[in-house]
Amino acid sequence: GNSVTQMEGPVTLSEEAFLTINCTYTATGYPSLFWYVQYPGEGLQLLLKATKADDKGSNKGFEATYRKETTSFHLEKGSVQVSDSAVYFCALGATNKLIFGTGTLLAVQP
Amino acid sequence: SAVISQKPSRDICQRGTSLTIQCQVDSQVTMMFWYRQQPGQSLTLIATANQGSEATYESGFVIDKFPISRPNLTFSTLTVSNMSPEDSSIYLCSVLRGARTGASGEQYFGPGTRLTVT
């Protein structure tokens, strides 16, 4: 079946540090992959997506590349800010359904 | 993206009672979804609600506990019935945008309803 495995948190970084949050998936067929973000006290927002192998999704300085050979979709940002502190969810989309990873709490300190 | 509102935003309910959560979208959408996010955990799909047909429930969720209505293309309700403290969660609705076949369509989420059952 389809599943998503996500790096456990919390991840604590200093401002301007490099961020990687690992995400791997198991799927039949060719799913779409997403990163969602949940800021404190707010709802879930789509951060970026990729719909096929080798696609790179990007938004707000965040990037993730759909790697079919390693079944991965790792989230990266070159220089994090305090305002990036949030919970990040990796998700797999197939047959109109989203399957979420467990979420990774990112805390960025000034 | 779609603008999605939910009512109520939060509620505290007594065990044994029921609560109906409303989800309103600012445009017509074919597919709507209801999720549960238990404290400190990820999101779990409860059911898919299509207009004009019965909702499709995921394993572990049943219609008697979580009846859903979808009277038109912009509105849906989820009822949490006969509540117990284990039902304390955030309940979110979402809509599917993009390709109808779904593999590439992203979902947009409402702000959630925070339910506490005492």
Which among A34, A42, A103 has the least Cβ separation from residue B106?
Answer: A34
Note the pLDDT tens digit of each residue in B62-86: 999 999 999 999 999 999 999 999 9
Mean pLDDT, range B28-54, rounded to an integer: 89
> How far is the alpha carbon of A100 from chain B, nearest alpha carbon, in Å?
6
In angstroms, the separation between the Cα of residue A105 and the nearest Cα of chain B is 10
Task: Out of B48, B102, B106, name the one closest to residue A46 (CB).
Answer: B106
- Taking residues B31-53, report their average pLDDT: 90
Residue B101 pLDDT more than 60?
A: no
Q: Which residue is closest to B57 within chain A, CA to CA? A: A97
Q: Cα–Cα distances in Å, from A90 out to A45, B35, B41, B69, B71?
A: 12, 16, 13, 29, 32
DSSP sequence for A2-36 = -EEEE--S-EEEETT--EEE-EEEE-SS--EEEEE
d(CA B58, CA B112): 19
The confidence score (pLDDT) of residue A12 equals 97
CA dist., res. B46 & res. B36, Å (int): 7
pLDDT above 60 for B103: no
pLDDT at site B117:
97
SS3 (DSSP) at B81: coil
Percentage of the residues of chain B whose pLDDT score is greater than 90: 75
Task: Tell me which chain A residue has its CA closest to the CA of residue B110.
Answer: A43
Lowest-pLDDT choice from A35-49, A70-84, B1-15, B92-106 = B92-106
Nearest to B105 among A43, A93, A101 (CB): A93
Kindly state whether B57 is in contact with chain A, defined as any CB-CB distance less than 8 angstroms: no
**B14-36: b (≥16 Cβ within 10 Å) or e:** eeeeebebbbebeeebebbbbbb
Name the DSSP class of B58: P
Task: Check residue B98 and give its pLDDT.
Answer: 59
Render each residue's pLDDT in chain A as its tens digit; 110 residues: 889 999 888 999 999 999 999 999 999 888 999 999 999 888 899 999 999 999 999 999 999 999 999 999 999 999 999 999 999 999 999 877 899 999 999 999 99
Question: What confidence score (pLDDT) does residue B113 get?
Answer: 96
* Mean pLDDT across chain B: 90
CB A32 within 8 A of CB B104: yes
